[in-house]
Amino acid sequence: MMIMIEMRNVSKTYANGVPALHSIDVVIEKGEFVYIVGPSGAGKSTFIKMIYREERPTEGSVFIQGSDIGKLKEKQIPYLRRKIGVIFQDFKLLPKLSVFENVAFALEVIEEPRDVIRQRVMEVLDIVHLKSKARFLPDELSGGEQQRVSIARAIVNDPHVVIADEPTGNLDPETAWEIMDILEDINRRGTTILMATHNQSIVNTIKKRVIAIESGRIVRDEWRGGYGYER
Amino acid sequence: MKGRTLVRHVREGFKNLGRNGWMSFASISAVTIMLIVVGAFLLLVMNINHFIQTVEEDVEVRVYVDLTATEEEQKELAEELKQIDYVESITYLSKDEGLDQLIDSLGEENREVFESLREENPLNDAFILHAEEPQLTKQVATSAENLSHVERVNYGKDVVEQLFTVTNVLRTVGIVLILGLTFTAMFLISNTIKLTIVARQKEIQIMKLVGATNGFIRWPFFVEGFLLGVLGAIIPIAIIIGGYQYLYANFMNQLSIDFAELLPVFPLTLQVSALLIGIGALVGVWGSLMSVRKFLKV
């Protein structure tokens, strides 16, 4: 199998002296679906930000498809991010753009022709079942629908990896399951998915690889593991 | 960059104006108000400058010819005077003409006293020189002094030097005022634009996350800033052209003092308008790019 993400002896201490991660070693292969679990402040977000280079490791290296992204120049970062789709707990949609425009945005950035953009956006809106709401503004949608728009935006340019930072955190349980269906669907199409979550029942029901992080260290890494924390 | 991307940036720039309606309105208003002030001052300073020039151009050098000089020698002197550097024009004033001018300037009461002088004119023949640049008058006068058959040279030394001190101060004050105003305007306008962009920090952050290059993010802001500046210049230009035309028509009728002439409406107002559009566009672009810069590091 091809290695998608690799961290070698990665440590991160923030500029204000707060330590976040400690000698992390991890390999994630192409096509995997991985949960990142752990208490708040354990370092899950830092772990994720390291992958799309919002943060740089203070020690060690992060490799995406074999290239050390710590060595990327400022100018090359946009090209890294085009290979990675990111989904946030708060959706991060542009409120003044329609659903269609929000998704098309990720393709305009990579200078696709307009007809390609049109076709591709409608395709992914179909995947997230929002084709009929293409002209709506984010405010006119429910939370689950908004998160589906952000998923569509994350996958529209066929990224190799999709990173989801608590994608179900703001949603009611039923809607959360809907989102999981879509993420699994995307994973089945061959996209690697990394999902940080606090949702115990999802992790315990949809069994996948689980990486547990506590106080900046990986304390557990199991195939088809459970959530493992009592709340 | 691909052509259609450029089209996209221009389109986005226009759309953003509409999407951020009130913010755009605030920025355009800031540009409008500042440009009205800058434009009015430009007109004022340019007119003062024009007035100064008119006064300065009245400065002349009188070269009085030696009483003993023959007609031949006078002609020679005229030739030599023409050769002096920076001399623009030369006029001959015979002693009779000189006396006429003198008598005219002295008024009626003394006329008879001076009329008697006609018998035995005590004045010299003279040449009147104009320098190419008023500021070069002194130099021309000095050169003329050294020629033969010149009795003396007069250019109102003290008065002229004082005049130039005053006009130079006036010019400097004008330039300082305009520069100071322009910088204040730039600061205020770019601050207003900054507010509109801070409100869009999230938008920039998302652009960065989906892999937009910094250049790609900047372009629509460039277009938007340019539009804010140019749109903001429309009302000031209308006011400048209309207002100055009105002022010119009314002011010129009331005051017919010939040295206090206003500059004609055209091309002055067109030049000022072009300058206002330029300042507006520059400030708009500068303000919006400076503001975006801060948010590009994500």
| pLDDT band at residue B246 using 50, 70 and 90 as cut-offs | confident
| CB–CB contact B211 A111 (8 Å) | no
Q: What is the mean pLDDT of the segment spanning B61-79?
A: 77
| pLDDT band at residue A231 using 50, 70 and 90 as cut-offs | very low
Please tell me which residue, B264 or B255, carries the higher pLDDT value. B264
- Quote the longest CA-to-CA distance of chain B: 101
A113/B contact by beta carbon, under 8 A: yes
Smallest Cβ–Cβ distance between A108 and the set B8, B19, B214 belongs to B8
If you ran DSSP here, which 8-state letter would residue B263 be given?
P
A219/B contact by beta carbon, under 8 A: no
Chain B residues whose CB is inside 8 A of the A108 CB are: 8
Based on the domain organization, do B31 and B173 belong to the same domain?
A: yes
The Cα–Cα gap between A9 and B147 comes to: 94
Based on the domain organization, do B50 and B66 belong to the same domain?
A: no
Based on the domain organization, do B283 and B195 belong to the same domain?
A: yes
The mean predicted confidence, pLDDT, of chain B is 80
Based on the domain organization, do B39 and B73 belong to the same domain?
A: no
Based on the domain organization, do B184 and B40 belong to the same domain?
A: yes
- Residue A116 has a pLDDT of 93
- What pLDDT digit, counting tens, does each position of A35-90 carry? 999 888 888 989 999 999 988 899 999 999 988 998 888 888 999 999 999 998 88
Q: What is the mean pLDDT of the segment spanning B44-72?
A: 78
Smallest Cβ–Cβ distance between A109 and the set B19, B20, B216 belongs to B216
> Scanning every residue of chain A, which has its alpha carbon at the shortest distance from the alpha carbon of B211?
A78
Give the domain extent around B215.
3-56+163-295
A137/B contact by beta carbon, under 8 A: no
Based on the domain organization, do B75 and B217 belong to the same domain?
A: no
User: What value of ipTM does the predicted structure carry?
Assistant: 0.80
| CB–CB contact A92 B202 (8 Å) | yes
Q: Give the alpha-carbon dihedral of A139, A145, A149, A151, to 10 degrees.
A: 140
The answer on pLDDT for A19 being more than 70 is yes
Smallest Cβ–Cβ distance between B213 and the set A78, A106, A113 belongs to A78
Please tell me which residue, A197 or B119, carries the higher pLDDT value. A197
> Sheet harboring A33-37: ordered strands across?
A84-88, A161-165, A192-196, A33-37, A209-214, A217-222
List Cβ neighbours of A98 (8 Å cut-off, separation of 6 or more): A134, A135, A136, A137
> Scanning every residue of chain A, which has its alpha carbon at the shortest distance from the alpha carbon of B210?
A106
Chain A residues whose CB is inside 8 A of the B298 CB are: 54
Smallest Cβ–Cβ distance between B211 and the set A54, A79, A92 belongs to A79
Q: Give the alpha-carbon dihedral of B31, B34, B36, B39, to 10 degrees.
A: -110
**What secondary structure does DSSP assign to B219-253, as a single string?**
HHHHHHHHHHHHHHHHHHHHHHHHHHHHHHHHHHH
Based on the domain organization, do B169 and B267 belong to the same domain?
A: yes
Based on the domain organization, do B51 and B190 belong to the same domain?
A: yes
A149/B contact by beta carbon, under 8 A: no
Based on the domain organization, do B80 and B205 belong to the same domain?
A: no
Distance from CA of A81 to the nearest CA of B (A): 5
Residue in B206, B218, B219 to test binding to A, most A beta-carbons within 10 Å: B206
CB B186 within 8 A of CB B287: yes
Q: Which amino acid is at B133?
A: E
| CB–CB contact B205 A92 (8 Å) | yes
If one counts the domains in chain B, the total is 2
The mean predicted confidence, pLDDT, of chain A is 90
Based on the domain organization, do B94 and B182 belong to the same domain?
A: no
Based on the domain organization, do B172 and B145 belong to the same domain?
A: no
Looking at B106, B137, B154, the residue that finishes a domain is B154
| CB–CB contact B210 A96 (8 Å) | no
The domain that holds B144 is classified in CATH as 3.30.70.3040
The Cα–Cα gap between B256 and A49 comes to: 76
Chain A residues whose CB is inside 8 A of the B216 CB are: 78, 109
For residue A107, which of A71, A142, A75, A155 has the smallest C-alpha distance? A155
Looking at B154, B176, B210, the residue that finishes a domain is B154
3-class SS of residue A89: coil
- Which token pair is B233? 């210049």
The Cα–Cα gap between B35 and B42 comes to: 10
> Scanning every residue of chain B, which has its alpha carbon at the shortest distance from the alpha carbon of A157?
B210
User: What count of CB pairs under 8 Å joins A to B?
Assistant: 48
A79/B contact by beta carbon, under 8 A: yes
The Cα–Cα gap between A32 and A26 comes to: 13
- Residue B192 has a pLDDT of 78
Chain B residues whose CB is inside 8 A of the A110 CB are: 211
Per DSSP bridges, beta strands A33-37 and A192-196 are: parallel
A114/B contact by beta carbon, under 8 A: yes
The Cα–Cα gap between A30 and A2 comes to: 6
- Which token pair is A118? 């049109």
Based on the domain organization, do B42 and B138 belong to the same domain?
A: no
For residue A98, which of A122, A115, A78 has the smallest C-alpha distance? A122
CA distance to A17, A214, A219, B224, per residue, from A13 (Å): 6, 15, 19, 40
CB A34 within 8 A of CB A221: no
- Residue A230 has a pLDDT of 55
**Range of lowest pLDDT (A131-135, B61-65, B204-208):** B61-65
Helix intervals (H) in chain A = 44-51, 77-81, 99-108, 114-127, 143-155, 173-188, 200-205
